[in-house]
A and B are shown apart, each in its own frame.
Chain A
Amino acid sequence: MDIRTETMLNLTRRRLLGQGLNAAGVAALAGLQGGRTLVAQESPPQSKGALPGIPHHAPTAKRIIYLFMSGGPAQHDLFDYKPALDKLFDKDLPDSVRQGQRITTMTSGQKRFPMAPSMFKFQQYGESRAWVSELLPHTTKVIDDLAFVRSVYTNAINHDPAMTFIQTGRELPGWPSLGSWLSYGLGSGSENLPNYVVMTPTWTGRKSAQALFSRLWGTGFLPSKLQGVALRAQGDPVLFLSDPPGVDKAMRRTMLDGLSELNQLQYEQNGDPETNARIAQYEMAFRMQTSVPELTDFSQESKEVLDMYGPDVQKPGTFAASCLLARRMAERDVQCIQIFHRGWDQHNNLPRDIRNQCRDIDQPTRGLIEDLKQRDMLKDTLIVWGGEFGRTVYCQGKLARDNYGRDHHPRCFTMWMAGGGIKGGQSLGLTDDFSYNIVENPVKISDINHTILQCLGIDNRRLSVKFQGLDARITGVEQSRVLQELLT
């Protein structure tokens, strides 16, 4: 980023606001930023290190937990109920529906596009009478908390670009991720934990799964300290957290005290504030050595709570354990939490694999929502669920009533949001009888991201950085909108 801006922002947010800004200071800042007063009237509280002016408006959520279903879950088999398909088993997808749209070269060689109705039973649940398939019995218990968007579409048709697009607003590498944008804007919520944490749990669907990429939580051209910290299930939860063998807490403290003294002596010589900052970072590192193990230790959780997340919760690295961790992080003011659940790329044997995938996520997701609710935290925790694209109505490979596969489908898919600022028990958007095209309220990926920013108190237009001659934003250069319909 422009170092002038960077320096300015560092100075402003870290010093001026931190030390109380006098009237002249506010005026000067306002002048610099083009007439707008940066400190909002009766401004909601800022978190540490937030950009000046953020929150731009009163946020409805203090944090986000984003459940990313990597591979692209089949909307037909989960939420987008299409009863008319039942009679169309093995019938060709009408050309009038397909309209010669781009399809992947994995099925473009197929002679036919026979339609595969979902083999799963659907039923309506809750006051909202939302249709959900039998695959997600637990989810139906919290159905009235969820706001569905059944008309999301994306540009990309393959995993790598589609995931990169959802996460960064671009299909190709090099741009900051949603979480790093949020941290850039919001500063940090926790003194002892990273502000953007990513988990990559195990999955039980097909063994071979699509890749993730560290760019999905990377920072692109934003400072690299904003990158998501991948919490690990194996070894140290945070890289290099543990002291080496033979170094106990007291030993580390001895070393750190010495280090701090030497750095202090050095600071007196060189006067470089960076040296001072480093002293503080080592102290935070030391605190993390306590706070992270405390975070990942479930021994203080009651049986009732553990049971809510289902039997997998005690297995480190599962989706269930990740959900409980997410709640524990939320309690500790981590502002951006993302769980990437892999294994949803069901080109074949979809019925078998989707059952397993749903079993992975169903109860833990419900558990997370109910647990947050009983702690009165759902009201300011935004939860987002979705994958990088949908799947096709037509079958890939061999078709049977009870066995089929589905190819990638970017033209429509379902996501849901819940919690802070979201009015649950509703649904936005409609697809046609095939869930192939959108017939009502198309929603872009950038609209979803725009809405997320809105809930967190950020004005999308004002969270931008100059890059490559553009005002770079998570929502890209084209217009996007807040999905007001979903908000309370």
Chain B
Amino acid sequence: MKYVTEFRNADLARAVSAEISTLVDPGRHYKLMEVCGGHTHTIYRHGIKDLLPDQIELVHGPGCPVCVLPMGRVDEGIEIAERPEVIFTCFGDMMRVPGSKGNLLEVKAGGADIRMVYSPLDALRIARENPDREVVFYAIGFETTAPSTALTLQRARKENIQNFTVFCNHVTIVPPVRALLDSPDLRLDAFIGPGHVSTVIGCRPYEFMPRDYGKPCVVTGFEPLDLMQSVLMLMRQLDEGRCEVENQYVRAVPWEGNLKALRSMAEVFELRPYFEWRGLGFIAQSALKLSEAYTDFDAELRFAVPGVRVADPKACQCGEVLKGVLKPHECRVFGTSCTPEHPLGALMVSSEGACAAYYNFGRKAEERVGARE
């Protein structure tokens, strides 16, 4: 793993930090949104906020796929998992995501056969090994994980594995960003574009951001120096009055994306007319379902999932917090009916969500602690 240490070099970080400072207009407040949950993790884990001038605020966006999953979809997954004939498989961080009556970890404790996998191919292997059981893979994630689900389904069809289905909850990144940009009370200056998603979709899908909304976007990698360099690139654009899509993550992201992966996705998935996002409501064409050709593998059809909607509590104000209109403590349910143990909104689900971080650490979650000793 030696190759990552170069991207975590504190001396280089200081140099980039100094360069960013020269571009800051002291009278201005800059809000940059990192769309992707992976970036939020990097920012938090390495303490990047301490390396940025006070005027630059990083706003955490809607890009954590487990956090944005609405309760209804979790409940439906749980309903499938509780069937005696089913082996239910999912990624590890899905286990704790709360539905209206509990999470998968609790359902497993109640006797359901739920197994954590690292890849959908592991789920397919379980199906192969257990021909008398129904194996369901709970697919989540943006365009980052969707191709692996697509490839798994292509393989399942090729091998004619009939006891394997996918409960598809894949979402796409552009529609929620567009929804945010469409809201009149949005206060953002620029976007730190997602890296992993872009290895698949490339940089072109973000061109509407500068063109239609006047917001620069830099597609960014996941090491702390990637983030720092991306902030620098955005600050340069703002300073020079440029507004465009740039690619910081050139070592992994081709401008046109991964055509092979996109072809697989196009064969296996189609867009849903609309999909619900926890805390954000319904967003048109923001999620994927299995295409006509793959209906045999669709868990929603095989188990006649009713598509029940569990309303986010009316009081939940994740959308406002996400847009930067409200601070976490200003939300009506913060700390009372919405807590890290019993989260209602997306921002309380992950420990790195803005609300969970504020709940655990108060102002310390956002304050700059200052120079290291």
A and B part of one assembly: no
Q: Which of A's residues lie within 8 Å of B, judged by CB?
A: none
